Amino acid sequence: MEKGVTLERALEIALTNPLPRKTELISLDQASGRILAIDLASKVDDPRFDNSAMDGWAVRQSDCQVLGNRLKIIGTSQAGSKEVPFVGEGEACCIMTGAPMPAGSDAIVMIEDSKSIGNHVIINGPARPEYIRKRAENLEKGQVALVGGSVLESAAISLSATMGHNQLEVVQKPKIAIIGVGDELIPPGEPLSDGSIYESNTYGIASLVARMGGMPMRFALIQDSIESLREVLNYASIKCDAIITSGGVSMGKWDFVREIMEKEGEIAFWRVLMRPGGPPLFGSWSGKPIFGLPGNPVSSHVVFTVLVAPWIAHSMGSVEEKGKRLANKVRVQMKEPLKGAANKLCMRRISIKQEGDALVGSTETHQGSGNIHSLVAHNGLSMLPPGTHAESGDTIDALWLL
């Protein structure tokens, strides 16, 4: 077991036991937000044929050198037209956006630049070849336009359809057990007894798992007891691909997740040099990867964002630029001084906003790791390296939460 590792090392260790990466074929209707498993090549040229980018007239450019020329209207090409008339010298074919270019024509005059009288049209503006969208100018048949590991965002869904795919091979959603541990925890909505609090982490973590493309399985809350923990971990390791627990991993007498993992599971690392979120552990239970997240609500969200989320993304084969993530790395100019932490990466909650050319950061609420409101009231996290502080006006690394 490694004790007190950097965040980078923690991720490296966790990735030695990734989630299984299985794939499935799904319909395009179901694909939004999923991770494409394989490179996707186009089944067609895009555009499929030369067509007009404007409503107007398909003409010969040589016929329109002089403004006011009169051309004979010989027919119409509309979107979906199968047969299109040939445009000869002194002729024009009425054409709609997306309609096939008639043979013989080599330019388009916009409808606004023309006046039709009977079966003739007067050309009052330029005839432009640039108004023709050329076959395959966007994509050639066989060209890979979406790479495996990309998240299927809305435009990627449209592109898949444009390329002729009605089904996509995507990465299966890993099933991730989420287990809250603590005698004091009561599900929201139920009556509270003295000393009890509403449990929140399993809901938040389930939402984070779903956002990362996993299938969260929120288990019933577990008391601080070795026996209950053993039972639920055994069950979860059979039913799920990975396990996330919350609570019970610090130094306290009742921190049974750490105790049972030490005695009956396998711990790969315990404690990460970060604040908040120092006490997490990672290991395996019956071979299944398990993260023991701290119980403090801010800590568990932050550890998920910077450690568990990248682990899920890497496991699922998400690519760096187009993959799933919960935050973007940015540089932020601080409005106020920000205190760092000795020996630890310090992730304080900050608000990030654009002011002129710069992104500026400020802090607003109490920063305690028990204060989940601080994560809602801000939209970013500082990334102050160990032993450093920021003065007001300093530019620092930060995460802009999505």
* Binding positions for Mg ion, rule: CB under 5 A: 182, 247-248, 295
Q: Is 102 in the site for ligand AMP (CB under 6 A)?
A: no
Q: Between 296 and 318, name the residue whose CB sits nearer to ligand AMP.
A: 296
Query: What would the x/- binding string for ligand AMP be over residues 61 to 80, using CB under 6 A?
Result: --------------------
| Calpha distance 332→297 (Å, rounded) | 25
| Calpha distance 168→149 (Å, rounded) | 12
Nearest distance, CB of residue 322 and ligand AMP, angstroms: 33
Residue 159 has which token pair? 């592109």
Long-range (24+ apart) CB contacts under 8 A made by 102-105 are 102/58, 102/75, 102/77, 104/60, 105/58, 105/59, 105/60
Nearest distance, CB of residue 180 and ligand AMP, angstroms: 4
Q: Between 105 and 202, name the residue whose CB sits nearer to ligand AMP.
A: 202
* Residue 246 binding target from ligand AMP, Mg ion, none, CB below 5 to 8 Å by type: ligand AMP
* Residue 100 binding target from Mg ion, ligand AMP, none, CB below 5 to 8 Å by type: none
| Upper half-sphere CA count for residue 309 (Cβ side, 13 Å) | 23
The closest alpha carbon to 306, from 220, 369, 203, 380, belongs to 380
Query: What would the x/- binding string for ligand AMP be over residues 198 to 227, using CB under 6 A?
Result: -xxxx-------------------------
Q: Which amino acid is at 379?
A: N
Q: Between 89 and 183, name the residue whose CB sits nearer to Mg ion.
A: 183
* Residue 149 binding target from ligand AMP, Mg ion, none, CB below 5 to 8 Å by type: none
Give the angle subtended at the CA of 235 by the CAs of 30 and 313, to the nearest 5°. 40
Which residues in 281-340 contact ligand AMP (CB under 6 A)? Answer: 294-297
Q: Between 185 and 326, name the residue whose CB sits nearer to Mg ion.
A: 185
| Calpha distance 16→122 (Å, rounded) | 72
* Residue 180 binding target from ligand AMP, Mg ion, none, CB below 5 to 8 Å by type: ligand AMP
Pairing of strands 349-355, 358-362: antiparallel
Q: Is 246 in the site for ligand AMP (CB under 6 A)?
A: yes
Q: Nearest residue by C-beta to ligand AMP?
A: 295
| Calpha distance 243→19 (Å, rounded) | 10
Cβ atoms of 280 and 272 within 8 Å: the answer is: yes
Q: Is 265 in the site for ligand AMP (CB under 6 A)?
A: no
* Residue 250 binding target from ligand AMP, Mg ion, none, CB below 5 to 8 Å by type: ligand AMP
Give the angle subtended at the CA of 397 by the CAs of 246 and 278, to the nearest 5°. 25
Query: What would the x/- binding string for ligand AMP be over residues 170 to 189, using CB under 6 A?
Result: ----------x-x-xx----
* Residue 201 binding target from ligand AMP, Mg ion, none, CB below 5 to 8 Å by type: ligand AMP
User: Number of residues in contact with ligand AMP, rule: CB under 6 A?
Assistant: 20
Distances (CA, A) of 70 to 114, 283, 369: 10, 81, 78
Binding residue for ligand AMP, selected from 252, 337, 387, 393, defined by CB under 6 A: 252
Buried b (16+ CB within 10 A) or exposed e, 134-170: ebbeebeeeeebbebbbbbeeebbebbebbebeebbb
Cβ-count burial of 82 within 10 angstroms (0-12 exposed, 13-18 middle, 19+ buried)?
exposed
* Residue 318 binding target from Mg ion, ligand AMP, none, CB below 5 to 8 Å by type: none
Residues that bind ligand AMP (CB under 6 A): 180, 182, 184-185, 197, 199-202, 246-250, 252, 294-297, 370
